[in-house]
Chains A and B, each alone.
Chain A
Amino acid sequence: GEQVEQRPPHLSVREGDSAFITCTYTDPNSYYFFWYKQEPGASLQLLMKVFSSTEINEGQGFTVLLNKKDKRLSLNLTAAHPGDSAAYFCAVRYNYAQGLTFGLGTRVSVFP
């Protein structure tokens, strides 16, 4: 089945710096990709979903890059602030029956 590897497991960044998280997946037929944010004690919240190849998607304070050729999904938190401190999970979907395959998560800590 699909395997998703997420790096790094922990990330500590200074406020105002960027935080970069990468996921690689194995199944070339995967075509829906998601980033979720989980703040301490809270539920998973969708940050962004993408389903195009080699696409840059910009959200509020972050950029998502999907490179289907390399089977790589990236999240860049630009100008991180303390509210970005959370766990971030990438997720990949091959088909409906398989649900989502999640990465192990990245713990991001933003310090002043």
Chain B
Amino acid sequence: ETAVFQTPNYHVTQVGNEVSFNCKQTLGHDTMYWYKQDSKKLLKIMFSYNNKQLIVNETVPRRFSPQSSDKAHLNLRIKSVEPEDSAVYLCASSLGQGISNERLFFGHGTKLSVL
């Protein structure tokens, strides 16, 4: 049963456009994440965020930015998409604020195709 909701499921766009993906969790968790799953199925952390701290993976291009209105929402904006941004973007959440053994709960993912 999914408790991390992502929209849209799919998005097709052209190079240079701006896109935004939404993520909402109903678990009351304090921390949310964005992962990128590329065509080789490699999962890479992009951001982790709670109401106190945003942690950015230093390899993430600056055109990506997380946006949060409250701890239940963490959206992902891509300012000007590039072809290599085509991937599945997975949102996740965890209960606490920095305990390394926490379980992650994942959304179903948003598949982005950049033409």
The verdict on B41 contacting chain A, using a C-beta distance below 8 Å, is yes
B2 in the interface (beta carbon within 8 A): yes
How many A-B pairs have beta carbons closer than 8 Å: the answer is: 59
Q: A43-B2, A104-B40 are in contact. Are A97 and B55 (CB under 8 A)?
A: yes
When C-beta atoms are compared, the residue in chain A nearest to B98 turns out to be A96
Min CB distance A100 to B, Å, is: 7
User: Size class of B's contact patch?
Assistant: 20 to 34
- Check A87–B41 contact: CB distance below 8 A: yes
The docked-state distance in angstroms from the alpha carbon of A34 to that of B4 is: 19
Q: How many residues of A contact B (CB 8 A)?
A: 27
Contacts of A98 in B (CB 8 A): 45
Report yes or no: A96 in contact with B40, Cβ–Cβ below 8 A: no
Which residues from 70 to 115 on chain B have a C-beta closer than 8 Å to any C-beta of chain A?
90, 92, 98-101, 103-104, 106-109
**Contact surface of A with B, Cβ cutoff 8 Å:** 31-32, 34, 36, 41-46, 49, 51, 87, 89, 91, 93-102, 104-105
